[in-house]
Structure 1
Amino acid sequence: MYRRFDRYLITESSWLFLGFLALACSILLIERLVRLTEIVSGSENPAFDAVRLISRLLPHYIELALPGALLLTTILTINRLSRNGELTAMIFSGVSLYRLVRPFVMVSLILATLSILSSGYLKPLSRYSFRAVVFEIGQNNITTAFQDRKFIQYDNWTVWTGGTDTGDDGLGETFIFETAENGREQFMLGGSGELRRSQDGKWVITLRDAMIGDLPDITENTTATHATVKQIDWEMSVGSGPFRIRGLDERELTLTELFSKSYEESTHDVDPIIATADLHDRVVRAAMLVSLTFVGFVLGLNLQRRQRTGGLVIGILVLLSIQKLLEFGLLKAQQGVIPAWAGAWPLFFAVTLIALVLFHRANGNRLRLQRRHALEGANLVKAEGA
């Protein structure tokens, strides 16, 4: 009987969970639509590039949506079973809440494992892949950067052009400002120009009737040195070379790399304090799914004759509070204000303890209701016998 009941609960809640997960991911993706539109606006195949980018964002949004989908599904499922009397019948037949919550805990453990795999491995790789796709689109569609009368920022250089002719890659009045790695600032100004690729695949801007010069470090009583030339070729810093290696920051590192601290041997300067704080944050967010299951069960449970409302609203407020506290703890841990573990684990243990205490009290109420129900039944039998 118990296995059949477990399958029934899991089946009933699965579709609701998938619906909440899809809804949350869709809402989160809407936030990025403007940015995605800007990236693919000049692409030759914008629909294909948009699908590539969205597919790499999904692991991130699924991880964000998992806690909310699980909590709301648990609350609504238990509340519906309570209102229909199904849960009450099981409880009055002698089944404890610890047995009833077991299928939800099993599901939460599976989701916690998937969350670890997603946040620990899939999400860092997809984040790096997303940036690589953006880099590729930017390289293949560099001409879209030259929008009429707009300053365009690319890494360490800024370009403004007064007009473009996409037919022959001709440029109108063009201004280029570049800051070199050694801090040297250089400007170029041309009355007209042309955008083309060199033989090695690099993008080159050819300026005609151009002025080139350096900006001084001190502007007081100093004039910039410059020279006027008929034509000058300027090679952009965004060429056709490969994208950088993975591991620019801690968000591109897997859990294995964070735990082994292999980033200390890489060429990228990853702060160990920030990396360790991120490691604890990922693990705690996955473990928190199990705690949220007990929270949702308590908020959805209703054994009284009078129907209780507000569990869903309370659940949303609890979820938002936990999310904000985790973000605040992660920030303080990355800043070195508190130890790396202190940004997440104290909150996890506090939420888990409170959830278990409330769940234990709810199970105690179940026992009292059973005894009262048995007493009422005994009195009824005596009254009929009399």
Structure 2
Amino acid sequence: MIKRIDRYLFGLILVPLIGTLVVAAMLLVLDRMLRLFDFVINEGGPVSVVWRMLGNLLPEYLSLGIPIGVMLGILLAFRRLAMSSELDSLLAVGVSYGRLLRVPFLFAIVFAVVNFGIVGWLQPVTRYAYENLRFELRSGALGASIKVGEFADLGGGLTLRVEESRGGGADLRGLFVRAVARDADGKVGQTIAATAARGTFLATDDPEYILLRLTDGTLVHSPTPGSTPRVLGFVQHDLPIRLPEMAAFRQRGEGNLEAVLPELLRTMLYADTEAERRGASATFHRRLVQCVVMFVLPFLALAMAVPPKRSTSALGVFLSIIALVTFHKFTEYGERMGQLGRVDPMLAQWVPFALFMGGALWLYHVLGKPGGQPIGALDRWFGKITGFISGLAGKLVRRQRWSDDVLSAG
């Protein structure tokens, strides 16, 4: 019977856990997606790079999405048991709350290990990859230096303007090209200007050059300044372009966000300056807290899942999310204050964790008492507030209807 209960609980938790995890991650990603689209379009880069950037940001969002998913998965499962009176039946036959938490703790252990791998190793690496993509967009390494409808300086006296781009930049329409040659003293030599109906970039055997193939256009060649230019039409003309030198992106590890846990620990122990040791300590302890908090969530979820008797309020769901997000923000703030040296980096993380754990264990202790209702008082106050607001809204609606009736009668 006990094994059947465990399997039943496993199924009840798994579905809302996965659903909540996906929804939470997508909601966190959507906010950044709009800003990334705006950034990539302004830089003139390909839209496909947005998905690569979002993929590199996903581990950062999962560090918050996983705790929310685990907590709501457990909470919704036990709320369903409580609303259908199945929880009362299990307690009546001698199954305790502690025994029922065995399966939730199994989920907590698994996802604590997953979160440890994400915040300890995966998140720093993907953060570096994200910054690398931003650098390539700004430097033009992804083709971002050529913007449709604008004059682009490609270096070496070469200017290019494109009216329209199709096929991800493979088919260019309405091109204008101007190439100015200069001698060793910087004086202007020959000048070539061309317009073409179509064009495309082609690779060459020399990695320092690419080929701009122009089709159906007109070329104007001026050998020297002030000389009579020569004008000719062409069906196809190839123009070699020397690629500008791209600055190499920095190495990973400049900043604690890009350092994995062993690197942070090494900086804590052997850094030359106190500021470096303090910053590494603040980030190191926050990442540990993000993993350890997973073991507190089953107690909080169970306490918030059971509504007071004769109540169907979902106040516990709302309060649990508020509590977890508030704790997450407190740890972020503590990390910043620890890096600045205003508080001890370790205390800035573990004191809020101790308070959060103490509150969750106290709510669980209240639930375990006969007739215990951890959020009973809050539910009553919430009911009074919502009743007052509903009554006030009803009065305003009735008053508006009365005014409309008086105006229509007049």
TM-score (norm 2): 0.64
1:314 has 2:319 as partner: yes
Partner residue, 1:246:
252
How far apart, in 2, do the equivalents of 1:271 and 1:145 lie?
41
Q: CA contact under 8 A between 2:304 and 2:316: conserved in structure 1? A: yes
Q: 1:171 to 1:103 in 2, by over 3 A?
A: farther
Partner residue, 1:271:
276
- 1:70, distance to aligned residue in structure 2 (A): 1.9
- 1:55, distance to aligned residue in structure 2 (A): 2.0
| CA deviations over 1:321-356 (Å, ceiling 9, x no partner) | 212222221221111100110111011111112211
How far apart, in 1, do the equivalents of 2:275 and 2:132 lie?
19
AA of the residue aligned to 2:251: I
Partner residue, 1:336:
341
> What secondary structure does 2:34 align onto?
helix
How far apart, in 2, do the equivalents of 1:342 and 1:111 lie?
25
| CA deviations over 1:222-262 (Å, ceiling 9, x no partner) | xxxxxxxxxxxxx97xx335432111211110011111228
1:255 has 2:261 as partner: yes
TM-score (norm 1): 0.68
Q: CA contact under 8 A between 1:250 and 1:270: conserved in structure 2? A: no
Q: 1:256 to 1:145 in 2, by over 3 A?
A: farther
Partner residue, 2:221:
none
How far apart, in 2, do the equivalents of 1:351 and 1:244 lie?
39
Question: Number of matched residues?
Answer: 306
Pick which of 286-295 and 129-138 moved more.
129-138
- 1:309, distance to aligned residue in structure 2 (A): 4.2
Q: CA contact under 8 A between 2:33 and 2:50: conserved in structure 1? A: no
AA of the residue aligned to 1:258: L
Q: 1:164 to 1:359 in 2, by over 3 A?
A: same
> What secondary structure does 1:261 align onto?
helix
Partner residue, 1:69:
69
What is the root-mean-square deviation of aligned Cα atoms in Å? Answer: 3.9
- 1:365, distance to aligned residue in structure 2 (A): 2.1
Q: Which runs of 5+ in 2 are unaligned?
A: 154-158, 164-171, 180-191, 195-200, 211-242, 374-410
> What secondary structure does 1:272 align onto?
helix
- 1:145, distance to aligned residue in structure 2 (A): 5.7
How far apart, in 1, do the equivalents of 2:24 and 2:248 lie?
35
Q: CA contact under 8 A between 2:71 and 2:298: conserved in structure 1? A: yes
| CA deviations over 1:5-49 (Å, ceiling 9, x no partner) | 1221121111111111111111111112233324544445x33x3
Partner residue, 1:24:
24
Q: 1:312 to 1:362 in 2, by over 3 A?
A: same
Equivalence map 1:133-172=2 (5 Å): 133-137=133-137, 138-144=140-146, 148=150, 170=177
- 1:122, distance to aligned residue in structure 2 (A): 0.5
Residue among 282, 286, 303 paired with 1:281: 286
How far apart, in 2, do the equivalents of 1:135 and 1:118 lie?
24
> What secondary structure does 2:369 align onto?
helix
How far apart, in 2, do the equivalents of 1:136 and 1:319 lie?
36
How far apart, in 2, do the equivalents of 1:35 and 1:365 lie?
52
How far apart, in 2, do the equivalents of 1:253 and 1:339 lie?
21
> What secondary structure does 1:29 align onto?
helix
Q: 1:263 to 1:56 in 2, by over 3 A?
A: farther
Q: CA contact under 8 A between 1:264 and 1:270: conserved in structure 2? A: no
How far apart, in 1, do the equivalents of 2:59 and 2:327 lie?
21
1:359 has 2:361 as partner: no
- 1:106, distance to aligned residue in structure 2 (A): 1.8
- 1:102, distance to aligned residue in structure 2 (A): 1.7
Q: CA contact under 8 A between 2:338 and 2:344: conserved in structure 1? A: yes
Q: CA contact under 8 A between 2:271 and 2:277: conserved in structure 1? A: no
Q: 1:279 to 1:128 in 2, by over 3 A?
A: same
Q: CA contact under 8 A between 1:75 and 1:312: conserved in structure 2? A: yes
- 1:364, distance to aligned residue in structure 2 (A): 2.1
Q: CA contact under 8 A between 1:91 and 1:366: conserved in structure 2? A: no
How far apart, in 1, do the equivalents of 2:68 and 2:116 lie?
16
How far apart, in 2, do the equivalents of 1:263 and 1:36 lie?
37
Q: CA contact under 8 A between 1:124 and 1:253: conserved in structure 2? A: yes
Partner residue, 1:8:
8
Q: Which runs of 5+ in 1 are unaligned?
A: 153-160, 173-191, 204-234, 369-386
How far apart, in 2, do the equivalents of 1:326 and 1:281 lie?
7
How far apart, in 1, do the equivalents of 2:127 and 2:121 lie?
10
Q: CA contact under 8 A between 1:263 and 1:270: conserved in structure 2? A: no
- 1:147, distance to aligned residue in structure 2 (A): 6.7
Q: CA contact under 8 A between 1:108 and 1:289: conserved in structure 2? A: yes
Pick which of 91-100 and 355-364 moved more.
355-364
